[in-house]
Amino acid sequence: MYARSAVPGSLAFLGPFWAAPPENPRLARASSWQHRTRRIYAAVMNEAIRPGSDIPQAASPAPELSVVVPTFNERDNVTVLYRRLEAALAGIVWEVVFVDDNSPDGTWDVVRALAQRDSRVRCVRRIGRRGLSGACIEGILASSAPYAAVIDADLQHDETQLPKMLSLLASGQAELVVGSRYIEGYKSEGFNKQRAGASALATEVARKMLRVEIADPMSGFFMVRRDCFEQLAPKLSVHGFKILLDLVASANGSLRAIEIPYTFGERKHGESKLDSMVALDFLGLVLAKFTNDAVSLRFLLFAMVGGIGLVVHLTTLFISLELFKEPFAEAQASGAIVAMTSNFVLNNFLTYRDQRLKGFALLRGLIAFYIVCSVGLLANVGVAFSVYDQEPIWWLAGAAGALMGVVWNYAMSGLFVWRKK
Ligand code: GDD
Ligand code: MN
């Protein structure tokens, strides 16, 4: 077991194949038994480790509500939001957890200063990571009140709804309360027409395909019972923006939800981080949930880019042969280089847009991508040959080789080109 940690970093991808034999068969049995019972252990706290009466009650009471605020470049908004929370939540014991993805504008610094004056404020500063959903998940899991709310930092959501949301949860009427922009009483000030249209379409798709019943599954404003959330958390995707949709779809109808209308206001300072690529994120989530996580949008995009690469390759080959009268070997090599380069650019822009390489990392990534694809080509030809050897059907051998190539390129690109920090 421990042998795995001794594998040098560059061989880490061999992990799954590197199952070191257990030295002691009894231990091996115990570990599989542990695996089966881990869920039970996670659900029921052992009496021996439950904090007993000998643990002193804290001087300040434990919060009843944790408010989680994802932030990225919201320096000018966080203090205003804090003041507004303080006003809206008078009479409630609350805390606020800001989850900041190391904003270049130093939002975390402002939050830290607030936290130094008020212990109800906490700051989770994440380095080398981005993503609204992941930030919300981490924030909720870092808090411990029985109820957790998620609210944007930019003052577009209406924090005066929080007490009402809390009472709906605390009275047991619901396990999830959603601030909805669509139901009766909804009025929007900060939503342009185009975006409203796209959002309405996405909502329809989500409702039909994932059988999500709530009117505004795209809302970023909700409150949930933490025990319910904690149960669903392992199923949630940390990518993208659609945490609420993910939560409701993953619950499969088991979360009792109530929606309340609110006014979606104007953003006060800074700008929205949701670009047109949000539609892709959404598509990815629908695909993943619909296929029970069997198909990832990233792989589909990677394969699609590969398909485009084939067209680029053939076009370059044709031009080199016909226009520049290059010999075949050189024309073929030009085709491969042009196709690999355009695949790299497209993947960097589309498939791995959330981890886009820039500056020097772009050059390093391009070279790594050339190497990965060259080895992929060898794998492709190798598999095609061995299939053809067994069964001399040209298209079957060709397709098997191409599949091997794309799977190899995808797996290795994720490890060596767009690797997570
Ligand atoms: N930590 C972290 N990391 N926070 C982020 C990130 C990120 O990568 N991206 C955005 N945020 C924070 C913003 O700072 C803001 O507080 C909140 O998440 C929402 O981001 P906006 O950029 O303001 O989104 P929006 O107003 O355009 O979108 C609204 O509508 C969407 C549905 O159409 C929000 O309410 C979203 O939550 C909602 O999904
Ligand atoms: Mn916003």
Amino acid at 162: L
User: Strand, coil or helix: what is 264?
Assistant: strand
Interval between CA 207 and ligand 1 midpoint (Å)? 22
Q: What is the CA radius of gyration of the chain?
A: 26
d(CA 115, CA 120): 7
Decide: 226 and 144 in contact? Cβ < 8 Å.
Answer: yes
Among 137, 185, 145, CA closest to 169: 145
Residues in the ligand 1 pocket, defined by CB under 6 Å: 70-72, 74, 99-101, 130-132, 135, 152-154, 156, 199, 218, 220, 241, 272-274
- Out of 72, 182, 246, mutate this one to test ligand 1's pocket (max ligand atoms within 8 Å of CB): namely 72
Among 284, 406, 294, CA closest to 354: 284
Name the pTM for this structure. Answer: 0.73
- Out of 273, 353, 356, mutate this one to test ligand 1's pocket (max ligand atoms within 8 Å of CB): namely 273
Kindly give the confidence (pLDDT) of every residue in the chain, 421 residues in length, as a single tens digit, with 9 standing for 90 and above: 333 333 333 333 333 333 344 444 444 444 444 444 445 455 556 666 776 777 666 667 899 999 999 999 999 999 999 999 999 999 999 999 999 999 999 999 999 999 999 999 999 999 988 889 999 999 999 999 999 999 999 998 999 999 999 999 999 999 999 998 855 444 555 556 666 677 777 777 777 777 778 888 888 999 999 999 999 999 998 877 889 989 998 998 889 999 998 888 777 788 887 666 677 777 788 887 787 777 778 888 899 999 999 999 999 999 999 999 989 889 988 999 999 999 999 999 999 988 899 999 999 999 999 999 999 989 888 888 898 899 888 888 888 888 888 899 999 999 999 987 5
Of all protein residues, the one whose alpha carbon is nearest to atom 35 of ligand 1 is 220
With residue 301 as reference, give the H or E element that holds it. helix 297-322
Q: Which domains, ranges and CATH numbers included, belong to the chain? A: 65-280 (3.90.550.10), 297-417 (no CATH)
Q: How many CB atoms lie within 10 A of CB 90?
A: 9
d(CA 404, CA 376): 8
Contacts of 23 (CB under 8 A, 6+ apart): none
Decide: 124 and 99 in contact? Cβ < 8 Å.
Answer: yes
